[in-house]
Structure 1
Amino acid sequence: MRKVVLYIATSLDGYIASPDGSVEWLPTPPPGEDYGYANFLATADATLLGRATYEQVLSFGEWPYPTLTNYVFTHRPPAEPAHASVHFVTEDPTQFVTQLKQQPGNTIWLIGGSTLASPLLAAGLIDELMLFIVPQLLGSGIPLWREQPRPRVLTLQRTQTWPDGTTLLHYLLPGLVKSQVES
């Protein structure tokens, strides 16, 4: 079974974007450093994005994931995708991702945002969290998580800290057992 990994940066106070959706506050890696991005990207063959995240990625210029299969969840798909690798999904994300995980392939990268990540987390469909904590306090913005229906216990896999203070917290999430789903 394929795994879903949320690989995302967040401010120390838990925001993934400024109130206007911008991410200009994210640090620029020092020369020769990418916070492990290239190694992670080499394991993935698909991405999951919400429509707002998709629009933000488009604003950066050329589509950055042309070799991956990209699924964008939206209620209002645009007339045409920015790239042939982009597929718009209008069905329920939890049902779609449950089926996608059963298909052959590599890691599925959940890029964001929180409107998409939260129901996938609640459904037990996220297998790993790779949270890059940026040492900044934004005070407000788009939160990493929306409300969750129950507490979840995470298992710390590893940590890594870079000289600029950015810290990776890599967690494993055990799947929900049937009794948790039914309650």
Structure 2
Amino acid sequence: MVVLGHSSPARWAAPEGPWTEPDLHLFPQDGHRYEIVDGSLHVTPPLAEEHETVVRALVTALRAAAPEGWWVCTRLGIELGTSKLIPDVTVLRPRSSGASWADPADVALVIEVETDTSRRYDRLLKPDVYAEAGIDGYWRVEPLPEPELHVYELGPDGYQPAQTIRGAGPVKVDAPFPVRISPDAWL
């Protein structure tokens, strides 16, 4: 960090080479999400309350259905080689390592809840990185105008659409464990 004079605000300096996990500790806890993709920094602005409401509803449903030993976490970072991503929700298999940055081998499912500022990132880049790491399941939520859950399963060429869920009635999803999902109840 470079400080210019006593009255000037602190300014962040980029590293000489690629961004790494220790560089993420330089940033303030200001509500932004700081992630690294192949050594490049990606910043998402603070999230709206509607987004957080959907995340809480998903976590509640998954935790209620999770068999003993499974972990459902919010904003747990995943170490993916030169990428460090932070999904909205992560489901860890039993006997996971418990590291502060999860190993992809421990991750059964990642969930991203789209916002206007994350739509392309959540639809294009993040699923590709998660699939390359071998994470079995990816869920993407479109919260507005009506909540929709898009369930993807890992195939030989990346994630393949498996199911789209919308509406008030509970719909069963089998992976990573059986859970009933009702998107209209999220908002």
Same-fold call, TM > 0.5? no
Task: Flag the structure with higher strand content.
Answer: 2
Higher relative contact order structure (alpha carbons within 8 Å, sequence separation ≥ 6): 1
Whose radius of gyration is greater, 1 or 2? 2
Q: Taking structure 1 as the reference length, what is the TM-score of the superposition?
A: 0.30
